[in-house]
Chain A
Amino acid sequence: MKKLINNPNNVVEEMIDGYVKAHPTYIKRLEENDRSLVTARKTTDNKVGILIGGGSGHEPGFLGYVGDGMADGVAVGNIFASPPPAPILEVTKAIDKGAGVVYLYGNYAGDVMNFGMAADLADMEDIHVEMVLTTDDVASAPIEEKEKRRGIAGEFFVFKTAGAAADQGYNLGEVARIARKTNEFTRSMGVGLTPCSLPQTGEPSFEIGDNEMELGLGHHGEPGIKKVPMDKADNIADELLKHIFADMPLNKDDEVAVLVNGLGSTPRLELYIMYRRVEQVLKEKGIHIYRSYVGDYITSLEMGGCSITLTKVDDELKKLIDHPVDCPMFVQK
């Protein structure tokens, strides 16, 4: 696999270096830890801090979402690996304004342990931390074991609403409530067409035939529910939506936010063909699309494929979804 890199061992450091130099008015690196990035902007006093984080390779997730209206800081891990507690703790200290900090991250064994250890360390420094895990991937566990599900692209909506709530002056408990509520109302499912490869190994992350796709693929290349023959976009969209509807029943006149997320190497052209079908199906069911997002929001290096996310929104969540955002990789006016 061809990649624009220098030394495979330095890809994360060099990316961060490029990122902070490209966007100095948005983001800065903390002196205490190379993997700790915080907003360069002044935020309002007494604002609850929003800390996001996870492995690298998901860009714009997660460092791309530090900015006005979203996160205040990010702890950056190695490729597809949770950051250790040290950078999480440093970001926590830097963004706490006395109102506490909310950690938002996907439900993976490594993230749970590292963010948990960081929260214990923050507690020793008298910083109040709330942790909210995202569990939107319907393919990763049955509904009766929802707490085992991994977080995929639906994390974007959790960052969006929790970030807006913090910006609008919600207190620590309320921001955490919004994040949990958003996660509760969010479902995603993905499909993988082609694998990505880690810079250090160069090997494809999973095996798949030319005429096959992996339904329910995880965004680190974890195998999904099953491999099936490649199909037309409309049929794939129908299949993904079928799983989502079975998991989160939606009624006529319900309102949803929609995200059709590219995994890295799938062109917008194809993502909009997928969106086209999603819109048709929702319309047939009488479900209203409140806002839609189409593009690469949480990727998996150069993996091919996409995921569909639906978040059921009420008046409270709609107000937060509409809140303006200004981040290096995501702007909403």
Chain B
Amino acid sequence: MSLSAREYLNYFKQVTEVIENEKDYLCELDRKLGDGDHGVTMSIGWQSVNEKLDTELLDETDCGKISSVVGMTFLNAVGSSVGPLYATGFIKGAKVLKNKTELTDSDIAEFWVAFVNGVKERGKAQVGDKTIVDTLDPFAKKLEAKFAESQDILAAFSEAVQAGERGMESTKDLISKIGRSSRLGERSLGVQDPGATSAYLIIETFQKVLEVESVK
């Protein structure tokens, strides 16, 4: 299987729709843990990306360029803490995709592993801190291991997203250690982390793109 630049662009288009649909849910989670704006922030960022997809990136064929423009556009629209995290992820991922107009299975696996490493380097959070990393770290580890084992990106990605989902759900039972919600202590128990939730939506959307591609 391979993914064209057009399909890669289409993936980002789908993320903008998913985030828009889940905006209120993400805000609702954040009101319990933080200042209640996570859905708004994600929406501002992805709407700004959406504008680039319709203009500067419309006919772009270099997937590396697409990834870095998406990252910088998101960052400049939102700032916040998710801005630097996602921007660093997409820029690290862009290095893997540089000058590529067609993504092979191993490009896809390498891209996501680089993306997650970028987020982790920037945010310095560990698994168990109740952050985005609780979704992304198990996702990337599973993806890397399963793809190395089977070379089957669809199966490996599907298992990785499931690992990410379990990680996301585990944040309900965690006490925040990083970010604004860390000041809540035990009051953060019982609520799923909004950052871990939106990260899950982003990887889950990619899985759906792969599934559609695989039956073409």
Contact = CB atoms under 8 A, between A and B. Distances in A.
B182 A148 contact: yes
Nearest to B184: A223
B104 interface: no
A206 B36 CA distance: 8
Q: Which of the listed residues A86, A109, A110, A139 has the most CB atoms from chain B within 10 Å of its own CB?
A: A109
B216 interface: no
Interface in B19-63: 24, 27, 31, 34-37, 39-41, 43-44
A223 B36 CA distance: 11
A109 B179 contact: yes
A204 to B, nearest CB: 8
Contacts of B180: 108-109, 150, 218, 220, 222
A147 to B, nearest CB: 12
Nearest to A141: B183
A77 B27 contact: no
Interface stretch (B5-13, B80-88, B150-158): B80-88
A140 B24 CA distance: 27
Q: Which of the listed residues A114, A140, A150, A203 has the most CB atoms from chain B within 10 Å of its own CB?
A: A114
B79 A84 contact: yes
B181 A222 contact: yes
B34 A222 contact: yes
Contact of A223 (B27, B44, B85, B187): B187
B119 to A, nearest CB: 11
A61 interface: no
A31 B40 CA distance: 27
B80 A220 contact: no
A141 B35 CA distance: 17
B35 A221 contact: yes
Interface string A141-175: 10000001010000000000000000000000000
A84 B84 CA distance: 8
A137 to B, nearest CB: 9
A77 B79 contact: yes
Contacts of A86: 75-76
Nearest to A139: B183
B178 interface: yes
B36 A205 contact: yes
Nearest to A197: B36
A287 interface: no
Contacts of B80: 77-78, 81-82, 110, 114
B84 A113 contact: yes
Interface string A94-110: 00000000000000111
B40 A200 contact: yes
Interface residues of B, number: 33
Given A79-B37, A109-B178, A84 B31 contact: no
B78 A84 contact: yes
B40 A201 contact: yes
Contact of A84 (B36, B39, B76, B85): B76
B183 A218 contact: yes
Interface in A80-132: 80-86, 108-110, 113-114, 117
A77 B84 CA distance: 13
A81 B79 contact: yes
B123 interface: yes
Nearest to A220: B35
A113 B85 contact: yes
A82 B178 CA distance: 16
B98 interface: no
A84 B179 contact: no
Contacts of B43: 200
Given A78-B80, A114-B84, A85 B75 contact: yes
A81 B41 contact: yes
A140 B78 contact: no
Nearest to B177: A148
A82 B78 CA distance: 8
Interface in A210-228: 218, 220-224
A248 interface: no
Given A84-B78, A86-B76, A223-B184, A78 B44 contact: yes
A20 interface: no
Contacts of A85: 75, 84
Given A81-B41, A86-B76, A140-B183, A203 B27 contact: yes
A198 B44 CA distance: 14
Given A9-B44, A81-B80, A109-B179, 13 more contacts: A77-B79, A80-B35, A82-B80, A84-B75, A84-B77, A84-B78, A84-B84, A113-B81, A117-B84, A200-B40, A201-B39, A203-B36, A218-B35
The 10 closest A-B pairs by CB, nearest first: A110-B81, A220-B35, A113-B84, A81-B80, A84-B79, A109-B81, A200-B40, A82-B79, A110-B80, A109-B179
5 contacts: A78-B80, A84-B77, A109-B178, A113-B81, A222-B180
